[in-house]
A and B are shown apart, each in its own frame.
Chain A
Amino acid sequence: MNWRAICGILGYLWLILGGCLLAPLVVALAYDSRSSLETTEIVAFSVTPVACLLAGWWLQHSFGHLAGSIGRREGFAVVSFAWLTAVLLGMLPFVICGVMNIHDAFFETMSGFTTTGATILGTPGVAIESLPHGLQFWRCMTQWLGGMGIVVLSVALLSFLGVGGYRLLKAETPGGVVFEKERPRISEMAKQLWRLYLVLSLAQLLLLMLAGMTFFDACCHTFTTMSTGGFSPHTESLAFFSPGVQWIVIVFMFLAGMNFALHAQLLRRRPAAVLANPEFRLYLVIIMVVALVGVAVVPGVDSLGGRIRHSLFQVVSIGTTTGYATADFDTWPEIMRWLLVLLMFSGGCMGSTGGGMKVARLLVFAKVVSQQVHRLVYPHAVRPIRIGGRVMEAGIVSNILAFGVLYLLAFACGTSVMAAAGYDLVSSLSAAAAALGNIGPGLGAVGPMAHWGHLPVVAKWVMSLLMLLGRLEIFSVVVLFSSWAWKK
């Protein structure tokens, strides 16, 4: 393991993070100034970026020249440590302001960067609205940074990483991803992704403001919609806003859950290519079917339009792993609660900002099953797994199967911890699924109108780990616990 090279890249990353941390400072200066909490906040947002920039500059200055020489193992280490240190640095403002203890701040920031959206805020003492604007803004912004990925951002900005950047990207979204390099230079690919992300975010910001949101609310919700995060500056989440706003959010959640390569196709005016994409079709079908069931069973709303909106909103929100709510779906009929839990597993598309297992993997699971059944009848048949006309290599298929196993294993462990902490089975299962899938709200004790603040400390840390596992698609983290990564 080449620690110096790892430190070099982390240095660059902290510099970028420090730069991003200046944004909430501007917001804090513009909106807050009165109470003593808000003065502390401004101090916190001055100290944190400075510390971040100084530490980053020092690391970059000492080891930055080695950053181009990272190998495979270092790629995994860089990605895991990048996320961990981003969370540790990003939680500082919450801690300095004294609004959370260390456990809560770590949980909340991890939930932010991993775009989970599970919050510990909501107990009467610390309502979300009681936070000053700067903290609110930073809380939502962590999701936006984590959505497209902090490592993707640095690869886009640090074009000198060259092929090392490819290793990093592969490590940030591994798990047998059909990671198709479409452009000769990896930094250009990363730039294109961030460009699309920015364009979509700007579009949503404008639309939300046209629909009557304040600039601050529009920013925060854009941050957490495009990243499929789910934080909201309001305890009532999106129920606080008008139906028009909710419709806009539905559309952008759906877009954020799509593969960004498809957005590039749309920009090139090739809608046929998007419709022909098998993953997108399945994604669309899943959401439509569950939403239709929802329309039939959603209680308490009379108008058809209202039923469609509520059902579609909750289904898209959970299906893309965003985690906003316009209704307390924990009180919906059992069948709908169960379908929503299932949606937590399917998640968004490959190459989206969504979490979960990803629709493409479900597609592969189904094809493997059909392949095995076919083989029972024709034992000698050669039947490769095809997705959209392309044959998948056997290595990638088995990687995806292993991912499925690991995912379920992590889910089981998380549930065990929650159950051991004394929660009922529905709460435990849904909490583990919601944390691992980066969704946010679960059912029961962690339902959409509840919060996670009452979890015992150990459970908070375990849930934070699940979020990181889910965001980095398990393998990149797990490999660091294997002896192969460390042996010389």
Chain B
Amino acid sequence: MNILVVGAGVVGEALAEQLSQEGHRVALVDRDRAKVARLQEKLDVLAVCGEAGMPSVLERAGVKQAQMVIAVTNSDEVNIVVGMLSGRLQVQHCIVRVRNREYTDDGSLLSLSDLGIDQVINPEPVMVEALEHMVAIPGSSDFAKLAGGQVLMLGFDIAAGSPLAGRSLAELRELSSLDAFLVLYLHRGDQVIVPRGHDRIEAGDNVHLLVSADTLHFVAPLVHATPKRVKRILVAGASRVAEDFARRVSGHVENVFLLVSDSQQAEEVAGKMPGVTVLEGEATDLDLLNEAGLEQCDLFCALSDSEQQNMMSALLAKRHSRTATAVLVNQPEYVPVMDSLGVDIVLNPRLVTVGEILMHVRRGHVHSVTRLAESRAELIEFEVAAGSPITERALKDVAFPRNALLGAVVREDVMEIPRGTTQVRAGDIAVVFAMPEAIPAIEKLFAHRQRW
């Protein structure tokens, strides 16, 4: 497939690299000449320098031959213009990142689908929802919803007192006599381990689990010894994500504080959100944090647009209290750094966006793609195609690739943890955890045979 990626930021570059590796013909547009020259040397793509919104530039990048246009520049407006132009040119699929909900909400003056944009990506609501769930599940540090909410993927940092610490997977099977959850992988130091029966979970590991939504209420206490309800949340920053999160979480948490540095903005926000206590000032000001009750705080969320500010304020909060912390960073490279500094939840809108877009590129039978373990692995949700090789025999007889794991099968809205005798059927939803090298084999096993 010919794919035109507009905007070579973090998302654009990651997408171009991934898609080119997957065998697509990729063209990339950006206005930064030096960046274009660098990418031309680094990736096997056509890199074009120019203003993305200009028809002539798009034409130079081959928009007329493209079957898919992905607009991910920094500006919503430029992305929309690119979407409009490619809609005019009858490009089959047009995916556009638009972050401002003014453009995308129902009843908006501007109807994007009328402009020929068939998919709008906004990572922010996805992140806010994930964060909200993590607030509800104590101890969790990662969250994703799969199979329409039937299956949840949860990340936990295993504390020393956790019931899981020191146990092998085989012991866990006995402990939870019914198959309520499945361990996907362990993150230990810099290593990603896909555990087998005899591997032990140690304190300090970060464990990713697949859990059925129905059994969540008794899995969570298994992982985290002392469930404590979140009563006080500090949110730093006046970004859309921060406001959104504060508004939504104020419905079920008593004390929500929002720290806004700009006085005019603070007043505006306070007017909009009666349930939230808005404080005016810098999130790196310790006195202000104390005024918001940092001591009793259960979760400190640094969600401003400046990642440096987020990192510093979270570290400061961590230094002066026992609160859990959540930090929003834009550079995917910073995610592991934040983990190693002891930040509990790291949100990265770029990774979310890449996952969302890949899901649309691998259209058809793929329902969602979540990038995990610092992009070293993916959690892919397939609808099992009729006649695909995996449906031909029981799981134990299928040559399943190494570095991949069939995590869950959802049939008629019931999640099942697969065993050797499980027979996957067409129409099931399969959740597969895979390292990149295993993805082509997985696609062959599950998917329709037609390839781009």
Contacts and interface: CB of A to CB of B under 8 A. Distances in A.
Interface of A: 72, 162-163, 165-167, 181-186, 188
A184 B62 contact: yes
A166 B40 CA distance: 9
Interface stretch (B41-49, B99-107, B162-170): B41-49
B35 to A, nearest CB: 15
A275 B65 CA distance: 26
Given A165-B44, A166-B40, 12 more contacts: A163-B42, A163-B43, A163-B44, A166-B41, A166-B44, A181-B46, A183-B25, A184-B27, A184-B45, A184-B46, A185-B44, A188-B25
A185 B25 contact: yes
Contacts of B41: 72, 163, 166-167
Contacts of A167: 41
Contacts of A181: 40, 46-47
B334 to A, nearest CB: 26
B27 to A, nearest CB: 5
A193 B344 CA distance: 54
B20 interface: yes
Interface string B57-97: 00000100000000000000000000000000000000000
A186 to B, nearest CB: 6
B330 interface: no
A188 B26 CA distance: 12
B423 interface: no
Nearest to A186: B44
B4 to A, nearest CB: 9
A189 to B, nearest CB: 10
A184 B2 contact: yes
B17 to A, nearest CB: 10
A71 to B, nearest CB: 10
Nearest to A181: B46
Contacts of A72: 41
A182 B42 CA distance: 16
A163 B47 CA distance: 12
Interface string B14-40: 000000100001110000000000001
Interface residues of B, number: 14
Contacts of A183: 25, 46
13 contacts: A72-B41, A162-B44, A165-B44, A166-B40, A166-B41, A167-B41, A181-B47, A183-B46, A184-B25, A184-B27, A185-B44, A186-B44, A188-B25
Contacts of B47: 181
Nearest to B26: A184
Nearest to B33: A393
Most buried by A among B20, B41, B44: B44
A33 to B, nearest CB: 48
Interface string B272-314: 0000000000000000000000000000000000000000000
A322 B147 CA distance: 67
A181 B26 CA distance: 12
A297 to B, nearest CB: 48
Nearest to A187: B44
A186 B42 CA distance: 12
A188 B45 CA distance: 11
Most buried by A among B26, B42, B45, B62: B45
B451 to A, nearest CB: 15
Contacts of A163: 41-44
B46 A162 contact: no
A162 B40 contact: no
Contacts of A184: 2, 20, 25-27, 44-46, 62
Nearest to B60: A182
Contacts of B40: 166, 181
A40 B400 CA distance: 55
A181 B42 CA distance: 14
A57 B233 CA distance: 65
A185 B40 CA distance: 11
A195 to B, nearest CB: 17
Contacts of B62: 184
Contacts of B27: 184
A182 B40 CA distance: 12
A399 to B, nearest CB: 14
Contacts of B43: 163
A188 B44 CA distance: 11
Smallest CB-CB A-B distances: 5 pairs: A184-B25, A162-B44, A163-B44, A184-B46, A184-B27
A191 to B, nearest CB: 13
Nearest to A72: B41
A162 B25 CA distance: 11
A21 B310 CA distance: 64
A272 to B, nearest CB: 18
A182 B44 contact: no
Nearest to A182: B46
B56 to A, nearest CB: 13
A96 B27 CA distance: 50
A72 B2 CA distance: 27
Contacts of B26: 184
Interface in B205-229: none
Nearest to B61: A184
Nearest to B42: A163
Contacts of A182: 46
A165 B20 CA distance: 14
A182 B46 CA distance: 7
A316 to B, nearest CB: 34
Contacts of B44: 162-163, 165-166, 184-186
Nearest to B17: A163
A384 to B, nearest CB: 13
A338 B25 CA distance: 50
A188 B43 CA distance: 15
Name, among B20, B26, B46, the residue most crowded by chain A CB atoms within 10 Å (CB to CB).
Answer: B46
A404 B3 CA distance: 40
A184 B63 CA distance: 12
Contacts of A185: 25, 44
B57 to A, nearest CB: 14
A72 B46 CA distance: 19
Nearest to B24: A184
A2 to B, nearest CB: 17
A424 B45 CA distance: 53
A186 B27 CA distance: 12
A183 B40 CA distance: 12
A354 to B, nearest CB: 26
A162 B23 CA distance: 10
Interface in B314-373: none
Contacts of B42: 163
Nearest to B3: A184
A329 to B, nearest CB: 44
